[in-house]
């Protein structure tokens, strides 16, 4: 029996017995999506929203682990626990997802592999919203969807310390403190995580610290964020299985200042931001038990020297400096908006770019590139009775492109009942993405970038409906179904043609994707309910092209079927249980150099569970977590084996005033 048939059977079974999952974990606050203010119940597209309770129930030390079993999301891990993850939505590549944090779009112009290198812990996150479906309003990179993260200091003074240990030498410690007055709140958090690895050359150490401040005065609301991430990890088979003993070290500094103000029908937002990312990648890991430079200057290991063509570690330093302004005006007819997002992206490197933009006098960063990126958006929302129509016009101008790109979008929603709980909608959108600097220039270890790459583009059509109802005084239900089609053009992929040892960046011809997403949901509206939440969702997607005659590394190796179940249960007043199940069936395959043949991706079932006990006062908590409970052997990306069963346990102390 295929996984697709299994999914359908499970979905019908859940429906028949009346147990419901949910597509959107309902939160009442208005959100900003496509620059308009709207609630999850009324959004004319597919949204998944996770609140702090669900995030705590997952008990993951990084965002990638949290997103692994989110409906419609493909978190392809090279290394777990935040080491490195390629995030994709609706079958897109890891470069086609936009990331917004506290009102600012973060970008990783060097490579999207580093987009999720974040200086924040999941415990700092208040809400996560996953936007499924591309949009020009999400910004360049939002080809197939986006992730929107919100953080804030706590409203009360307090402190928290936690420690966790587990399998594979895992240990993690974290401390945070909140302080300040009502008009000016502060939060500082710091954490350290490490593991000896689940197999050879998968050790890791990671450190994060972050400051978040919020002040409210007569001029409006101001938010400041500043953070740092540093990590070093064994990268076994990460980018090629031909040279497995790889190593990577990354560092990130990020800061932003945002402001918003509402007065009468007007709402204004503005922000400035800076992101600096450093990366050192060793194709042949240097250090004890690995490679070292001998007296003749040759990089040697116990198995012999590194290839003569290897010129040492790749070193890159990328920076993004930008600003954003957005204004909206509400009238009896709807909302009008204008926004501008401008940023300067650059990289200096010993591998990427041209000599013209290298650092003069520097012996390492002799190459580089830079570009200016501007996005202009104008839009109008019309509201009349039960109907709402949105129209947006987005223009993208990039100094490295051959001209501006126009990415319009429009949506129409119909509130079938008077209270807005049954909504049908349709939308059409266009999105685009510029090549990363790695796509353009990387030429090491059997990989070949191309400066002839064109920007990739896609047109999207989506139909759907959403029904929200109160099951009882303690639970709310949501059912949704979405159909979508995406016409991709000039999609950028890294491919290896049969008989070739070179993996090269190229624009694929037109690729069309068709998919369906279904979800049933229940969410507790009372703190006394035993069933806190339950989510059952299915996602299917097909591409009209296959990787016959070549190996596709990203575009065509999509999750063609995915089923997810999330459940939170209150066992007793102080005990809660969280369960997650994800069944994934990936299209395509990968080349195994040991067998000398291409292997198909095997379907996988992943089960995770967390148990938490909280003291009567709420000041002390104990939790235990198990990932991959079935000890499944699988790969998300070719030849990069994922860890088996992983058990962790931890304690948390809280001090609140």
**Confidence grade of residue 6 (pLDDT, cut at 50, 70, 90):** very low
Q: Is 250 exposed, middle or buried (0-12, 13-18, 19+ CB in 10 A)?
A: buried
**Residues 326-362: pLDDT tens digits?**
999 998 888 999 999 999 999 999 999 999 999 988 8
**Stretch 114-126: mean pLDDT, rounded?**
93
How far from the centroid of its chain's Cα atoms is residue 346's Cα? 22
Measured CA distances, 274 to 227, 346, 552 (Å): 11, 12, 34
- Alpha-carbon span 74 to 616, nearest angstrom: 38
Query: pLDDT above 90 covers what percent of the chain?
Result: 66
Tell me whether residue 301 is in a domain: no
Tell me whether residue 303 is in a domain: no
> Parallel, antiparallel, or unpaired: how do β-strands 491-497 and 456-470 relate?
unpaired
**Residues 635-650: pLDDT tens digits?**
999 899 999 999 999 9
> Parallel, antiparallel, or unpaired: how do β-strands 604-614 and 620-627 relate?
antiparallel
Kindly provide the b/e burial profile for residues 47-66, where b requires at least 16 CB atoms within 10 angstroms of the residue's own CB. Answer: bbbbbeebbbbbbbbbbbbb
**Residues 574-622: pLDDT tens digits?**
999 999 999 999 998 888 888 888 889 999 999 999 999 999 998 999 9
**Confidence grade of residue 43 (pLDDT, cut at 50, 70, 90):** low
**Residues 148-185: pLDDT tens digits?**
999 999 999 999 999 999 999 999 999 999 999 999 99
pLDDT at 42: 60
- Which positions ≥6 away from 288 have C-beta within 8 Å? none
Measured CA distances, 535 to 9, 333, 472, 566 (Å): 16, 36, 17, 5
In the chain, the number of structural domains is: 1
Kindly provide the b/e burial profile for residues 4-17, where b requires at least 16 CB atoms within 10 angstroms of the residue's own CB. Answer: eebbbebbeebeee
Instruction: Check residues 335 and 15 and name the one with the higher pLDDT.
Output: 335
Residue 596: left if φ>0, alpha if ψ -120 to 50, beta else—which one?
Answer: left
- Alpha-carbon span 452 to 440, nearest angstrom: 8
pLDDT at 38: 59
Phi, psi of 55 (to 5 degrees): -60, -45
Tell me whether residue 540 is in a domain: yes
Decide: helix, strand or coil at residue 395: strand
Q: Is 419 exposed, middle or buried (0-12, 13-18, 19+ CB in 10 A)?
A: exposed
**Confidence grade of residue 34 (pLDDT, cut at 50, 70, 90):** very low
| C-beta contacts of 291-298 below 8 A and 24+ residues apart | 291/245
Tell me whether residue 557 is in a domain: yes
**Confidence grade of residue 14 (pLDDT, cut at 50, 70, 90):** very low
Q: Is the pLDDT of residue 110 over 80?
A: yes
Tell me whether residue 590 is in a domain: yes
**Stretch 397-417: mean pLDDT, rounded?**
93
**Residues 186-235: pLDDT tens digits?**
999 999 999 999 999 999 999 999 999 999 999 999 999 999 999 999 99
**Stretch 116-122: mean pLDDT, rounded?**
93
Residue with tokens 């300067």: 344
Tell me whether residue 372 is in a domain: yes
Residues comprising the chain, all counted: 657
Instruction: Give the CATH number, domain containing residue 470.
Output: 2.40.170.20
> Where in the sequence is the domain holding 399, given as residue range(s)?
3-282+313-656
Q: Is the pLDDT of residue 285 over 60?
A: yes
Mean pLDDT taken over the chain? 89
- Which positions ≥6 away from 214 have C-beta within 8 Å? 152, 153, 184, 185, 221, 222, 223, 224
Measured CA distances, 549 to 224, 497, 524, 546, 589 (Å): 51, 6, 51, 9, 12
pTM higher than the cut 0.75: yes
pLDDT at 483: 96
Q: Contact at 8 Å (CB) between 98 and 147?
A: yes
Q: Is the pLDDT of residue 26 over 70?
A: no
> Parallel, antiparallel, or unpaired: how do β-strands 125-132 and 422-433 relate?
unpaired
Dihedral of CA atoms 32, 33, 36, 40 in degrees, nearest 10, equals: -80
Q: Is the pLDDT of residue 509 over 70?
A: yes
Element (H, E) at 227: strand 220-234
Tell me whether residue 295 is in a domain: no
Tell me whether residue 307 is in a domain: no
pLDDT at 23: 37
Q: Secondary structure of 458-490 in the HEC alphabet?
A: EEEEEEEEEEEEECCCCEEEEEEEEEEEEEEEC
Closest to 164 measured CA to CA, from 286, 62, 14: 62
**Confidence grade of residue 70 (pLDDT, cut at 50, 70, 90):** confident
> Parallel, antiparallel, or unpaired: how do β-strands 266-282 and 36-38 relate?
unpaired
């Amino acid at each position: 029996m295929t996984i697709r048939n299994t999914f359908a059977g499970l979905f019908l079974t859940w429906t028949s017995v009346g147990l419901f999952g949910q597509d959107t974990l309902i939160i009442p606050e208005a959100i900003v999506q496509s620059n308009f203010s709207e609630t999850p119940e009324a959004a004319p597209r597919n949204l998944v929203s996770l609140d702090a309770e669900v995030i705590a129930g997952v008990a993951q030390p990084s965002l990638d682990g949290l997103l692994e079993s989110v409906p419609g999301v493909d978190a392809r891990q090279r290394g777990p626990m935040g080491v490195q993850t390629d995030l994709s939505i609706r079958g897109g590549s890891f470069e086609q997802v936009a990331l917004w944090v506290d009102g600012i779009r973060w970008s990783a112009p060097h490579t999207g592999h580093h987009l999720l290198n974040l200086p924040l812990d999941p415990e700092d996150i208040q809400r996560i919203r996953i936007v499924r479906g591309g949009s020009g309003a999400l910004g360049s990179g939002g080809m197939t969807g986006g992730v929107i993260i919100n953080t804030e200091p706590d409203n009360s003074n307090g402190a928290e310390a936690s420690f966790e240990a587990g399998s594979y030498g895992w240990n993690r410690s974290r401390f945070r403190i909140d302080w300040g007055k009502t008009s000016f709140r502060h939060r500082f958090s710091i954490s350290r995580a490490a593991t000896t690895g689940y197999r050879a050359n998968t050790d890791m150490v990671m450190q994060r610290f972050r400051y978040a401040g919020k002040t409210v005065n007569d001029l409006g609301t101001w938010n400041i964020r500043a953070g740092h991430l540093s990590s070093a990890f064994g990268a076994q088979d990460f980018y090629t299985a031909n040279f497995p003993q790889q190593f990577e070290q990354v560092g990130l500094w990020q800061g932003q200042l945002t402001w918003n103000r509402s007065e009468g029908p007007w709402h204004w937002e503005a922000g400035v931001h800076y992101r600096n990312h450093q990366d050192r990648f060793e194709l042949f890991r240097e250090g004890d038990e690995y490679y070292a430079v001998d007296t003749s200057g040759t990089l040697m290991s116990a198995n012999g020297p590194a290839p003569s063509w290897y010129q040492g570690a790749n070193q890159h330093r990328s920076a993004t400096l930008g600003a954003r302004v957005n204004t909206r005006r509400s009238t009896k007819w709807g909302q009008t908006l204008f926004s501008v997002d401008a940023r300067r992206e650059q990289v200096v490197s010993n591998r990427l770019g041209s000599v013209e933009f290298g650092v003069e006098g520097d012996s390492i960063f002799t190459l580089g590139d830079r570009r200016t990126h501007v996005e202009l958006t104008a839009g109008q929302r019309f509201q009349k009775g039960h109907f709402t129509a949105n129209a947006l016009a987005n223009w993208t101008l990039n100094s490295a492109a051959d001209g501006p790109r126009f990415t319009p979008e429009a949506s129409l929603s119909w509130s079938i009942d008077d209270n807005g709980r049954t909504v049908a909608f349709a939308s059409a959108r266009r999105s685009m993405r510029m090549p990363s600097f790695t796509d353009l220039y990387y030429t090491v270890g059997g990989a070949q970038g191309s400066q002839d790459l064109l920007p990739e583009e896609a047109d999207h059509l989506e139909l759907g409906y959403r029904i929200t109802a109160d099951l009882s005084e303690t639970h709310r239900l949501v059912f949704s179904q979405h159909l979508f089609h995406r016409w991709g053009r000039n999609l950028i992929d890294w491919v290896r043609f049969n008989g070739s040892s070179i993996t090269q960046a190229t624009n694929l011809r037109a690729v069309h994707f068709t998919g369906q997403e279904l979800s049933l949901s229940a969410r507790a509206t009372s703190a006394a309910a035993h069933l806190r939440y339950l989510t059952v969702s299915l996602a299917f997607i097909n591409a009209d092209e296959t990787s016959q005659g070549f190996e596709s590394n990203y575009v065509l190796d999509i999750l063609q079927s995915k089923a997810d179940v999330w459940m939170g249960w209150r066992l007793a007043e102080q005990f809660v249980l969280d369960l997650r199940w994800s069944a994934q069936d990936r299209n395509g395959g990968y080349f195994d150099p040991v067998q000398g043949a291409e292997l198909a991706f095997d379907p996988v079932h992943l089960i995770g569970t967390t148990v938490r006990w909280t003291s009567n006062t709420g000041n002390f908590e104990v939790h235990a977590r198990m990932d991959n409970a079935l000890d499944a052997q699988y790969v998300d990306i070719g030849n990069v084996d994922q860890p088996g069963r992983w058990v962790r346990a931890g304690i948390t102390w809280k001090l609140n005033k």
